[in-house]
Every structure is written in C-alpha cells, then in structure tokens.
Amino acid sequence: MGGKPQFETRVDKIHTLRSVFDVRQLKVLPKVVIIYGYQDDPEYMYDAAIAHHADGIIYAGTGAGSVSVRSAAGIKKSAAGGHRGGASLPYRQRRRTAG
C-alpha cells in the first residue's frame, strides 16, 4: 500500500477500522487475478491475466514459496510491462502453509 509492503501473516485477523486497506474513497475495485501454484504450473495463466486486463496478480504459491520455471517466466512477463499502456502489473506472492 502506498509503495510499502504489508505483511499479513495471521489468517485469523479481522479487518477493522484500523485495517491497512481503506476502500471508502474507491469508486471501482481493481480487477485482481489469483493464480494458484502447483508443480510445473503453466505460464499461460499469466498471459490470460494480461489479455483480460487484470490490474494485479496474486500468486498463491506452494510450500516454502517455490515457483515453477514456467510460472516464473509468466511472473517476469507480467512485471515487465508492455501491456496496459506499458504498465507492469502489481504482483504479490502468498504461501499456503501454516506458520
């Protein structure tokens, strides 16, 4: 948010008035695509997000946050720009493990 990373590690946190996300001034929410990672997941999921004009990507990764070679290529492509008027897509990575 505002160029600063926000680390949300607790899954039981309830958003309140002190939440880091303030949507009161937003007229439209951004279109954010969630791509679920798995072994040897494909690059075309990122191509689809770009083609459908996503405003951002969340990569829900596996284990310790590893990324397949093809998925890494898609992440680099989406971050490099060349779409949405040359803008790069914001990208966040999340792991699906406890702890």
> What are the structural domains of the chain?
32-95 (3.40.50.40)
- Torsion angle, alpha carbons of 76, 82, 84, 85, to 10: 150
* pLDDT 10s digits, 20-78: 667 788 888 888 888 888 888 888 998 898 888 888 888 887 777 678 888 888 888 88
**Residue 7 predicted with pLDDT over 80:** no
- More confident site: 99 or 2: 2
Alpha-carbon span 98 to 63, nearest angstrom: 9
Q: What was the pLDDT predicted at 89? A: 64
